[in-house]
Amino acid sequence: MPTPLYCDNQAALKLATDDNYHAHTKHIDLHLHFVRQTAASSALKLLYCPTEDMVADMLTKALPKWKVVAHVNTLGVRCACGGVVDFSHSVSVSA
């Protein structure tokens, strides 16, 4: 069964599935071949995921609170004590 790889970049998905090369994509040639070969061998299934639904974004960039709450709920993140994560209060961090 292939591993799903979700991507919110339609151009990257197109490059990984088509044999159409351009001068602008020359620098990603090695990585592209690996992804292409892996997808062609049915080890990967490349899937488009709209940016709004990309839950991994909360681990890679700053997001507004409402989006973090939505992604936390989607992932089913729980407190270590077994409760639900509470975003009702703001936390201040001092350096």
pTM score: 0.63
pLDDT tens digit sequence for 12-59: 888 888 776 666 666 666 666 788 888 888 898 999 999 888 888 888
Distance from C-alpha of 78 to C-alpha of 2, rounded to nearest angstrom: 29
Confidence of residue 84 (pLDDT cuts 50, 70, 90): low
CA distance 78 to 57: 18
Please report, for the chain, the start and end positions of each structural domain, with discontinuous segments joined by +. 3-50, 55-95
